[in-house]
Amino acid sequence: MRIMIRSLAVVLVVLLSAGCSSAGQADKETHGNGGPGGGNVTLPSTPAAGEDGDPDTPVSSEGSFPASGYPREVQDLIETMKTIEGGAWAAVGDETFIVVSRGTKPTAGYAVEIREIVSKGDSAVAFVSFKDPPEDGAVAEVITYPSAVGKIKGRFTDVEFKDVDGKMDYIPRVVGLKDNYLARGEGNIRLLDVHVDRARIRVTGIARVFEAILNYELQDAGGNALQDGWIMAASGAPDWGFFQLEIDDPPPGIVFLQLYQISADDGSRRDVVTVEIK
């Protein structure tokens, strides 16, 4: 069986080109110490090359930083958040790691800092500061992925993000992630895991869609609809919500699975992701 996800092509080009440009900047990157933390917060940093163990000092970054040194779940979450502006979290052991990202930026000078993380009943609150380059300042024209990582004792299923500077009224979140934290793709629909054949279809991912409604359609080789429907993501836009689509015994003759959202403005299909079934 061969699976082709057409929506991944552009993002692969972006990541590859970014990787080439960032390689030359690696020796110039520095990681500052974040702001003051609360009594129950630890803000981990990237360990020096060759170090093992859990990082335990603050970090904020104007560029991307290596994910080595963090648990695998956190490494995957850092990669997923690389092109998403917002916050996400992963509970690992008896700790909850929190990732905040500015997404893809066209120049240097952007940064994000986790100032403090505090518990609030069964949830946690991360206080975040964003920095933009000066309007009249000269900055390097290079793609950057500003991000920061912190952690707090305890396993929290919900984290709220607050901008301490008041620049953002709401910081989007990735809601509902549990086991798989590495999303692939671009746009507002991204895939975590894909299993499609003529006996069973199972697709999981994250989506930023209106009212959390994600549509799907099974098509034949000519693009004709064989079956369609919709499912609910864990949260609607501006948040990203986890979704899971499962179809047993799909109709014969299927060649494509399309995932998309319907525009509230004109009813057209947007953010179409096509999976080819062989």
In a domain, 93, yes or no: yes
- Asked whether the beta carbons of 133 and 144 are under 8 A apart, the reply is no
Domain boundary at 174, 198, 226, which? Answer: 174
Which of these, 40, 112, 120, 52, lies nearest to 82 by C-alpha position? 112
* Residue 232, pLDDT score: 98
- 210 shares a domain with 144: no
Residue 231, CA distances (Å) to 75, 176, 234, 252, 258 in order: 29, 15, 10, 22, 13
Identify the CATH number of the domain in which residue 219 sits.
2.60.40.10
- 170 shares a domain with 199: no
* Residue 270, pLDDT score: 96
* Domain range for 236: 189-276
Average pLDDT, consecutive stretches of 10 residues, N- to C-terminus, the chain (278 residues): 37 34 33 32 36 37 58 96 97 96 96 95 94 90 95 95 94 96 96 90 97 97 96 98 95 94 94 92
Give, for 8, the enclosing helix (H) or strand (E).
helix 8-23
In a domain, 17, yes or no: no
In a domain, 219, yes or no: yes
* Residue 66, pLDDT score: 52
Residue keyed to tokens 């560029």: 63
* Residue 136, pLDDT score: 85
- 44 shares a domain with 154: yes
- 271 shares a domain with 149: no
- 219 shares a domain with 160: no
Domain boundary at 145, 174, 203, which? Answer: 174
In a domain, 24, yes or no: no
- 162 shares a domain with 80: yes
Number of domains in the chain: 2
- 33 shares a domain with 142: yes
In a domain, 127, yes or no: yes
DSSP 144: B
- 210 shares a domain with 161: no
Q: pTM higher than 0.85 for the full model?
A: no
In a domain, 12, yes or no: no
- 239 shares a domain with 102: no
- 199 shares a domain with 170: no
d(CA 109, CA 103): 13
